[in-house]
Structure 1
Amino acid sequence: MMDIKVLGGCCGNCETVMKLVADKAEQLGISISLEKVTDMAVIMGYGVMSTPGVVIDGKVVHAGGIPKPAAVEAWLKG
């Protein structure tokens, strides 16, 4: 199971990224644990200065803006 965190506040973009990741994982039949992280100290600990950010299994794979669906698919297929 992949551990995925979406880093960001309460912005609409963060919610969009959460849904995009969840939907793509379901389409691919990949089991994930999805968590939204809003604590700025934790977000800064990952070195993310622009949200939303995406962390997969402890590694930052994206920061700032909504990722393309093809990128999310590539991350999940890893």
Structure 2
Amino acid sequence: MKIQVLGKGCSKCELTEKLIQQTAHQLGVPVELEKVHDMQQIVAMGVMSTPAVAIDGKVVHSGRIPQQEQITAWLTGKEK
């Protein structure tokens, strides 16, 4: 599973990345995590506010730090 954290590298983006890493580790789910800082690429993906998260190329969240329950749902395939 490839997860992209989209944003300019602000503290909210860094926290989003950390939460995803921690949750994936707790669940034992292998993920490939990538940071995307290029604003042209972020806008091309349809994101207007960050932090944003894309899974396998599909934007699943934007505009705020995701809650752990959301991250768990993404990683287990049980999206709410």
With the shorter chain as reference, the TM-score category is over 0.9
CA RMSD of aligned residues (A): 0.5
Unmatched 5+ residue regions in structure 1? none
Deviation at 1:10, TM superposition (A): 2.0
Q: Deviations over 1:9-34 (max 9, x none)?
A: 02100000000000000000000000
- The residue aligned with 1:45 is 44
User: So what's the TM-score if we normalise by structure 1?
Assistant: 0.97
Aligned partners of 1:10, 1:52: CA distance in 2, in Å? 9
Percent of pairs with identical residues = 55
* 3-state SS in 2 of match to 1:36: strand
Query: What is the TM-score normalised by the length of structure 2?
Result: 0.94
Please, which runs of 5 or more residues in structure 2 have no aligned partner?
A: none
Aligned residue pairs total 77
